[in-house]
Structure 1
Amino acid sequence: MKLAAALLVLCFLCSLQQRSGAQSCNDAGFSDGMSYEVCNPLSVLNSVLHYTYHASNGTVDIAYRAWQSASGWVAWAINPDGVGMIGANAFLAFHNGSSVMLYTTVFTNTNPAPSDITDGNLTFTVHSRMAEYSSPGGYYTIYASLDLPRNRTSQSTVWQASTSFSGSVPFGHAYTGNNIISTSTMNFLSGQSTSAGGIPRLHRKNIHGVVNAISWGILLPIGAIIARYMKVFKSADPAWFYLHVACQCSGYIIGLSGWILGLQLGSDSKGITYHKHRNLGIAIFTLATVQVFALFLRPNKDHKHRLFWNIYHYAIGYGVIVMSIVNIFEGFDILDPEKKWKNAYIAIIATLGAVALALEAVTWPIVIIRRSSDDKAPHAGHGENGYA
């Protein structure tokens, strides 16, 4: 089981990556007859930014091309004062009937109402704009000529895509996967584009997911299996106890680092909260912490309150494991990695479950025979081998 866990860590750390789907600059033709000096394939959401910067007057001509179905919408924006959606001055292209519409709108918060999505002025001058959709190619192209805000050549840019509408206007997009990392800092003078926090943030999310999957989702179940089944065998006493403690303490310590990283990610996600994932994480950590400190209050095996302590210990322990597995799948839905990683975790959990069922079948007859023998020997001590 530990080998499987190690393999999962190795595979995640070495290979987990988002599917970018960035398009090529080759064979780009534009209906406006323009040619652009710079082509920058963007990292996610199947999109490319073409542009020409005019240093003499601080303007830029852009052609933003994004591959999307005709029933969806795309957007490209400059955020003069920050990173991400709040403050973004956006160009939104979408279909309204048979016509392609292009709205310019400023997003002032992360929860706009449909009525806020209107065609208005941006905070900088837009000299011209238009949008079109190519049916054979399956992409939108947004054309615009604009003044760079404050005449700065380095600008924070955002782009987005979705198929969600409210009435006839674009409204809402996914808050997972590529849709939450589609930001970059574009230097229109040098042509260089650097991540504005998206890729490092994605890397931290991957680490958060890997650490928590290994700790809460694999080490803790292995520790529970050891405690439940190894202690039945007299020859495993007291080794089973130390193995159990090693697994649970390792899982808790490693999980603590993943939990702290999760808090940092949540703090950085202004306006985006995964309530179920967060609440489960807090509950898991709280109960696990209580479980750890309860070890210092563990009565002796023959103490009259030991039975109650055992009931509490089992209930909290199994509860933490169940909630951890549920929350790991919540994390998969949020991070949206390639399906093979989710399938790999399912395979590991299924294997642990199969091992537990097999050990259940093996150990129950031993326990029944041992209890029967104890009943016939009334002076025999119970619990001395740890099974009671």
Structure 2
Amino acid sequence: MKQVDLIFFTIVLLINPCLLVLSQNAESCNSIVDFNEMVNFDTTAMFCQNVWTSKDYVLRYVQAQPGLWSFLLSAPNTDSWLGIGFSTNGLMVGSSAMVGWVYRNGTAVIKQYYLQDKDPEKVEPDAGDLTVTENSTAVFVESNRMYLGFQLNTAHPRSELLYAVGPYGRLPLANDGLRLTQHRETGSASLDYTTGRSSTKDSPYTGIKRTHGALNMLGWGILLPIGAIVARYFRQWDPIWFYSHMAIQIFGFLFGLVGFVLGFVVKDFLRAQVTHHKNIGILILILGCLQVMAVLIRPKKGSKPRKYWNWYHHNAGRILVIFAISNIFYGIRLGMEGSSWYGTYAVIVALMVIVAIILEIRLWRQR
């Protein structure tokens, strides 16, 4: 097996163990949590609800005594601020929210904000109409999940809840008055505190974001590797292998191109800070365009330049596939789509790797 192929297989196989670790960050309502040392109220006998399944948000709550309610919200820690709002009509404007975050030096902050308007400048810190019990607030990170705990003095909490997560790595700053940066993703839900039923709605751009991810996954991350496998291991079926390879790569490029464009649409709508993901995507598109142009100037078989063209075309394709698979996993993490997306794509990649290994062994034996 060639050295480049060994590097490709090693990188992909190394990704899969990481997925197991990431999936362990998910939290289940079946387990009892005991964070009594972290917060000033009992957390062992709280009701639990998966309130924002697509983002793995878990809300625990209980009426500790008449007129006193305890809340503990948890979500994957993404170096972002985490917030839960209480609304009278299900809308953001006019609601009050509890927002918390943890700086990289370990300093934790939790505040109440009044959502006066959708403009971040109109989201006021240390304001709102929630009556928060003194010394009941806490925010901490445990097992790569962020927890937001607090108690409210109220006969019955508002049932219209809002959830939001801030942009990656952009936490509120003290010299800016701890004002919140534009949220990266939002969700809303109606929670029945008696039955525990919750109906969550994702933000309106979730569908576009998932379409962006699915198209890139199908185009760059599935069809292009399959086309490369066809070109390397099925040359004995000439010219079927060539036309199959061309057709698969063309469809893969087109799907990936549409997914690339949708990525900029999502970025503008959500004002997402995804510099690394975007730059890798641009590199992948450039490599894809270079591959298309290379086909147009392909030298004839047997000519001297054909050897160098083959070297470029094969290795540029391998580099493209490696970056594409890595960026897809990275994009799933940025989109907080959870273990289902990780697991599905990991299985697909693993199957392609297994098939490639079997075919490579067969090719090696034939040689």
The answer to whether the superposition gives a TM-score over 0.5 is yes
* Maintained 8 Å contact 2:83/2:165: no
- Distance in structure 1 (CA, Å) of the matches to 2:56 and 2:210: 14
How far 1:300 sits from its partner (Å)?
1.4
- Distance in structure 2 (CA, Å) of the matches to 1:282 and 1:317: 15
Supply the RMSD in Å over aligned alpha carbons.
Answer: 4.6
Deviation per CA, 1:359-384, whole angstroms, max 9, x where unpaired?
11111232x3xxxxxxxxxxxxxxxx
Deviation per CA, 1:211-231, whole angstroms, max 9, x where unpaired?
111110111111101100111
User: Which entry has the higher C-alpha Rg, 1 or 2?
Assistant: 1
How far 1:297 sits from its partner (Å)?
0.9
3-state DSSP class of the match of 1:87? helix
Which residue of structure 2 aligns with residue 90 of structure 1?
124
TM-score by length of 2: 0.60
Alignment of 1:319-338 (within 5 A): 319-338=319-338
Which residue of structure 2 aligns with residue 221 of structure 1?
225
3-state DSSP class of the match of 1:212? helix
Match of 2:210 among 201, 206, 213: 206
* Maintained 8 Å contact 1:77/1:90: yes
Which residue of structure 1 aligns with residue 17 of structure 2?
none
* Maintained 8 Å contact 1:181/1:199: yes
2:357 counterpart of 1:357: yes
How far 1:170 sits from its partner (Å)?
10
Which residue of structure 1 aligns with residue 262 of structure 2?
261
- Distance in structure 2 (CA, Å) of the matches to 1:203 and 1:315: 35
Distance change >3 Å, CA 31–CA 253, structure 1 → 2: same
Which residue of structure 2 aligns with residue 296 of structure 1?
296
Match of 2:149 among 139, 146, 150: 139
Deviation per CA, 1:135-192, whole angstroms, max 9, x where unpaired?
8997325789xxxxxxxxxxxx885689x7989x9979999xxx622377xxxxxxxx
Match of 1:17 among 30, 54, 64: 54
- Distance in structure 2 (CA, Å) of the matches to 1:281 and 1:90: 36
- Distance in structure 2 (CA, Å) of the matches to 1:263 and 1:180: 14
Deviation per CA, 1:329-357, whole angstroms, max 9, x where unpaired?
21022012221321221222122112111
Distance change >3 Å, CA 291–CA 90, structure 1 → 2: same
3-state DSSP class of the match of 1:49? strand
Which residue of structure 1 aligns with residue 311 of structure 2?
311
3-state DSSP class of the match of 1:221? helix
Alignment of 1:226-245 (within 5 A): 226-231=230-235, 233=236, 236-245=237-246
Distance change >3 Å, CA 251–CA 356, structure 1 → 2: same
Alignment of 1:340-355 (within 5 A): 340-355=340-355
Q: Which residue identity is paired with 1:237?
A: D
What residue ranges of structure 2 are gaps of 5+ in the alignment?
1-52, 70-75, 77-81, 139-146, 155-161, 189-198
Seq. identity, %:
27
Deviation per CA, 1:60-86, whole angstroms, max 9, x where unpaired?
8x7757899996625443243x45xx3
- Distance in structure 2 (CA, Å) of the matches to 1:346 and 1:127: 46
- Distance in structure 2 (CA, Å) of the matches to 1:87 and 1:66: 16
Q: How many residues align?
A: 273
Distance change >3 Å, CA 170–CA 203, structure 1 → 2: farther
Runs (4 or more) in structure 1 with deviation over 6 Å come to 23-28, 65-70, 126-129, 135-138, 164-167, 169-175
- Distance in structure 2 (CA, Å) of the matches to 1:319 and 1:252: 15
Q: Which residue identity is paired with 1:262?
A: G
What residue ranges of structure 1 are gaps of 5+ in the alignment?
1-15, 33-43, 53-59, 92-102, 105-125, 145-156, 185-192, 369-388
Comparing 242-251 with 16-25, greater Cα deviation is found at 16-25
Comparing 327-336 with 250-259, greater Cα deviation is found at 327-336
3-state DSSP class of the match of 1:305? helix
Distance change >3 Å, CA 142–CA 90, structure 1 → 2: farther
Which residue of structure 2 aligns with residue 250 of structure 1?
251
Which residue of structure 2 aligns with residue 182 of structure 1?
186
- Distance in structure 2 (CA, Å) of the matches to 1:343 and 1:18: 15
- Distance in structure 1 (CA, Å) of the matches to 2:123 and 2:297: 59
* Maintained 8 Å contact 1:66/1:141: no
* Maintained 8 Å contact 1:132/1:142: no
- Distance in structure 1 (CA, Å) of the matches to 2:331 and 2:313: 27
Which residue of structure 2 aligns with residue 78 of structure 1?
115
Deviation per CA, 1:230-264, whole angstroms, max 9, x where unpaired?
11x2xx11111111111111100011110000111
Which residue of structure 1 aligns with residue 79 of structure 2?
none
3-state DSSP class of the match of 1:332? helix
- Distance in structure 1 (CA, Å) of the matches to 2:234 and 2:333: 35
Distance change >3 Å, CA 239–CA 351, structure 1 → 2: same
- Distance in structure 1 (CA, Å) of the matches to 2:343 and 2:355: 18
Distance change >3 Å, CA 138–CA 218, structure 1 → 2: closer
3-state DSSP class of the match of 1:140? strand
* Maintained 8 Å contact 2:83/2:163: no
Alignment of 1:29-68 (within 5 A): 30-31=67-68, 47=84, 49=86, 51=88
